[in-house]
Amino acid sequence: MEEPPPTPIISRYLLLVFIWSTTPLAVVLSIKDLHPMWALACRFALAAPLSALCLKLLGEHLPLTKQALRSYVAGTLSLFGAMTFTYLGAAYLPSSLISLLFGLSPLMVGILAHGVLKTQLLRMEQWLGLVLAFMGLMVIFNHGSQGQAQSLGIVFVLLGVSCYIVSVFWVKHENANLHPLAQTTGSLILSAIAMMFVLPFYWYDKPTHIPSTVTLLALFYSVAMASVVAMFCYFYLIKTLAPATVSLTTFITPVLALVWGFWLNGERFSIFTAIGMAVIMLGMCAYFLQEIKSVLFVKNA
């Protein structure tokens, strides 16, 4: 089997980093005038037909074999599962903290690979990174500016991160050899169907007026870029790269997310939240120390 050329992989990797660094901000802005579950329902309801249309324009089809259906279900865990918890958590957290929490996914992948799958042995600096990241989380938990509300938001987002991680391994395991947009479309359709069973529980929170322009723009950005373009890149990359490599995208996004949140949404933090986030970033640097050295070595060679 021939390896795909590096240029499409690099371009889609960078595009995924950019979109995922801005998606938490789009999520936070899209729920300003909408209940999180209704905002997510609108996102799936609009993204599924858009993705299906793009699939048709490309001349591709949507396979309905048993293996393909299992792969769609696996992908749904990264859409419906991860996004449900993320949207619930977004009601309590700034966008940059959401991005930072998703940045912990490679560390959680490492724990899973080390302790459960037995496919990776963690190095000393990786254990140090895990300890520092845990300490940073504890600082935010115990001294967050919003107290219990912020802690609840962190729990929700970490549950979303867990769904995302399991989905990465599950889709990779199914190895259905689907076109990335077919994988995206199938998972979006199942996610939209799943939301139909959730909305009755939030019926009294349904929209009663047209949302603001900012909310609508954030929603449409989430539909087109985060739900279709990003997921296309995501499923393309997990077909060609190892799960841990794909998860590395979330190591880069928190720094960019801090910039977008500060610049576009005026996000500020208490001193303890800022310290906790800094400790988490330090832990992530320690965890990826060998990879960082490798990049610097190649660059200076």
In this prediction the pTM is 0.84
State the pLDDT at residue 146. 57
pLDDT per residue over 7-32, tens digit each? 778 888 889 989 989 999 999 999 98
Q: How far is CA 167 from the centre of its chain?
A: 11
Taking the chain (301 residues) in runs of 10, the rounded mean pLDDT of each run is 63 89 92 94 95 92 95 94 95 88 83 75 89 88 68 92 90 88 94 96 92 93 89 82 68 82 83 86 85 56 48
Q: How far is CA 239 from the centre of its chain?
A: 17
Contacts of 32 (CB under 8 A, 6+ apart): 211, 212, 214, 215, 218
Q: From CA 35, how far away is CA 38, in angstroms rounded? A: 5
Q: From CA 99, how far away is CA 113, in angstroms rounded? A: 22
Q: From CA 264, how far away is CA 269, in angstroms rounded? A: 15
State the pLDDT at residue 145. 53
Half-sphere exposure at residue 217, Cβ-oriented, CA atoms within 13 angstroms: 5
| Nearest alpha carbon to residue 273 among 93, 103, 21, 85 | 93
pLDDT per residue over 220-233, tens digit each? 999 999 888 888 88
HEC letters along the chain = CCCCCHHHHHHHHHHHHHHHHHHHHHHHHHCCCCCHHHHHHHHHHHHHHHHHHHHHHCCCCCCCCHHHHHHHHHHHHHHHHHHHHHHHHHCCCCHHHHHHHHCCHHHHHHHHHHHCCCCCCCCHHHHHHHHHHHHHHHHHHHHCCCCHHHHHHHHHHHHHHHHHHHHHHHHHHHCCCCCHHHHHHHHHHHHHHHHHHHHHHHHHHCCCCCCCHHHHHHHHHHHHHHHHHHHHHHHHHHHHCCHHHHHCHHHHHHHHHHHHHHHHHCCCCCHHHHHHHHHHHHHHHHHCHHHHHHHHHHHHC
Q: From CA 222, how far away is CA 89, in angstroms rounded? A: 16
State the pLDDT at residue 284. 87
State the pLDDT at residue 140. 82
CA distance to 65, 74, 225, per residue, from 69 (Å): 6, 9, 24
Q: From CA 74, how far away is CA 222, in angstroms rounded? A: 21
Cβ–Cβ < 8 Å for 257, 27: no
> Domain ranges in the chain?
6-300
State the pLDDT at residue 299. 47
- At residue 97's C-alpha, the angle toward residues 150 and 133, to 5°, is 95
- At residue 277's C-alpha, the angle toward residues 283 and 105, to 5°, is 55
State the pLDDT at residue 241. 77
